[in-house]
Homo-oligomer: A and B are copies of this chain.
């Protein structure tokens, strides 16, 4: 069964009602896809006008005329002036302050309507996933597992080359990357967002691979650390990290707050003498970094990705994806090779 768009629109309209908002201007491409099922080429810049009392209207440029075939209520608009006339009659317009640029905002300020930043509320409907979404995310995880399972021998190749081979593997499975691959080796792993470069991997390097793909719009985000041939100290750190990771996974359930999990991560790290560098995880869905809100709810999909970074040695991170449940969270990615 496909997504239930009117149910999704109902969720956002309820939030609009609470704020007395007549109409919402959506400019995030993932939001537009979420509420309509429509996506054009990546380069298309679409807008969605979502009135409280009427059906949503997709705004595309004439070059994107194909949108009309796939989303009935589409208007092709070529000028900012024509765009602004679409807001006639509305008194309070909600907008996404993270996605809207200043140029368009300045035009909207000329309208005789009150403008209301809606971004934080906009995040709410997408935090929990319906059955359709969970299936897509599982598929993106399955493919990422296949890619991890068919990695070539790492030693002797450059990080950039391995990253390139991962790109090709994803495409052979018919999907795109959800984000730029992280392949970090040896000391370079100290930098959390390391960009793969021309360093050649050595046999004893700690190697961190953090990759994901997008299937029908939905993302995966999985990280593995390879250090079986590294030294004893590296193996010890990996073992400590695995225990911390498992401790966090065991702790996650609906009803607890995000910051409680952060506190647990901090406790587990310091008990082992490590320093927390980044948060334990994040939501995943139509974006790689989906919001979670303050309290964890059933059917949120989260990453759990504690990381330990040691200067002159490398980066250790184990990143899995879990589905939040009333009881213990469901691990979605544990079948993926773990070292």
Contacts and interface: CB of A to CB of B under 8 A. Distances in A.
Number of copies of this chain in the oligomer? 2
Contacts of A65: 191-193
A193 B41 contact: yes
A41 B168 contact: no
Given A66-B195, A195-B66, A180 B42 contact: yes
Interface in A57-97: 62-66, 69, 95, 97
A78 to B, nearest CB: 11
A115 to B, nearest CB: 9
B97 A99 contact: no
Interface stretch (A12-20, A101-109, A253-261, A264-272): A101-109
Contacts of A39: 195
A171 interface: yes
Interface in A286-331: 288
A174 interface: yes
A194 B43 CA distance: 11
A114 interface: no
Contact of A101 (B99, B106, B171): B99
B179 A42 contact: yes
Contact of A180 (B43, B66, B102, B278): B43
A171 B174 contact: no
A119 interface: yes
Contacts of A194: 66
A45 to B, nearest CB: 11
Interface in A167-188: 167-168, 171-172, 174, 176, 179-180, 182
Interface in A25-64: 39-44, 62-64
A198 to B, nearest CB: 12
A182 to B, nearest CB: 7
7 contacts: A41-B182, A63-B192, A66-B191, A97-B106, A98-B103, A167-B176, A168-B168
Interface of A: 39-44, 62-66, 69, 95, 97-103, 105-106, 117, 119, 164, 167-168, 171-172, 174, 176, 179-180, 182, 191-195, 277-278, 288
Given A41-B193, A64-B192, A168-B172, 4 more contacts: A41-B182, A43-B288, A64-B193, A95-B102
Q: When A and B form their complex, which 3 residue pairs have the shortest distance between CB atoms, in order from nearest?
A: A66-B191, A97-B102, A97-B103
